[in-house]
Amino acid sequence: MDKTLIRHFSILLLFNLGILQSQPKEKYKIHDENRPQPEVVTHSSFSRMATPPSDAIVLFDGTDLSEWVNSSGSKKTQWKLGDNYFEVRKKTGAIQTVQEFGDVQLHIEWSSPKNIEGEGQGRGNSGVFFMAKPNVSHGYEVQILDSYKNPVYPDGQASAIYGQYPPAYNASAPPGEWQTYDIIFIRPRFDESGKLIRAAYLTVLHNGVLVHYNRELLGPTTHQVRTAYSAHPNRLPIALQDHGNPVRYRNIWVRDLESH
């Protein structure tokens, strides 16, 4: 490659990293309808049914829900176990992992209902919450939504950091198809007095497309209001949201980045 090409490539790379890392903290209101919609990108061959690495903790291998409990953390989940997947059973509440985690690499596969029902935020809505307290009141959510030809406020679409950052691209597959998230979550750090010393960070690949690169979170993700950080334990469960839509999940595994 000649030097001009390399220079052009470097400029392109910097530009793209700029999109992925930009932090328009004050530019847009929460759930701002005027925020630009991410460009649509498709990818037909990605990490579906990726085999867990040897040091991964398998949270669902298709056979049972023993790694999950309801959102009070005490009882068996009532979500429906199907053939190699499980499904949100509405009004039974979120589910959360039995084990607790801090910094992690997570692989999760999901699909929104093939028969489209509802619209906007009512279409295939669920979510992956890191560091969820009981009832998912204070986690950090990567949104799950059927965002295939279903425009919503950009910070609430699939793979958005809910209420904070739209994904850099809309990599959604059609409803009914299995989709993947590969997520690196770095928890916030608090000092002994509970003061924030470092924010939480998320890197997210949606269907193999990088949509957030080391994104600094503004605080816990919440609906309609932005919420400041408040100290919480270093390890908490990962939760999946019951938003009333029968979203399916399969092949979930996590690498504990703080165990080595």
Please give the residue ranges that form the binding site for Mg ion (CB under 5 A).
125, 127, 143, 241
**Three-state DSSP class for residue 89:** coil
Contacts of 223 (CB under 8 A, 6+ apart): 162, 163
- 123 or 255: CB nearest Mg ion: 123
Contact 173, 47 (CB under 8 A): no
Compute the distance between CA of residue 161 and CA of residue 206 in angstroms, rounded to an integer: 12
Least gap, CB of 110 to Mg ion (angstroms): 11
Q: What are the backbone angles phi and psi of residue 209, rounded to the nearest 5°? A: -105, 130
- 102 or 139: CB nearest Mg ion: 139
Compute the distance between CA of residue 30 and CA of residue 9 in angstroms, rounded to an integer: 34
Three-class HEC string of 128-184: EEECCCHHHCCCEEEEECCCCCCCCCHHHCCCCECCCECCCEECCCCCCCCEEEEEE
- 171 or 247: CB nearest Mg ion: 247
Contact 110, 215 (CB under 8 A): no
Contacts of 84 (CB under 8 A, 6+ apart): 62, 250
- 150 or 255: CB nearest Mg ion: 150
**Three-state DSSP class for residue 256:** strand
Compute the distance between CA of residue 166 and CA of residue 151 in angstroms, rounded to an integer: 12
Q: Which residue is nearest to Mg ion (CB)?
A: 127
- 122 or 208: CB nearest Mg ion: 122
- 28 or 110: CB nearest Mg ion: 110
Least gap, CB of 26 to Mg ion (angstroms): 25
- 156 or 188: CB nearest Mg ion: 156
Least gap, CB of 243 to Mg ion (angstroms): 5
How many whole angstroms from its chain centre is CA 136?
14
Least gap, CB of 162 to Mg ion (angstroms): 6
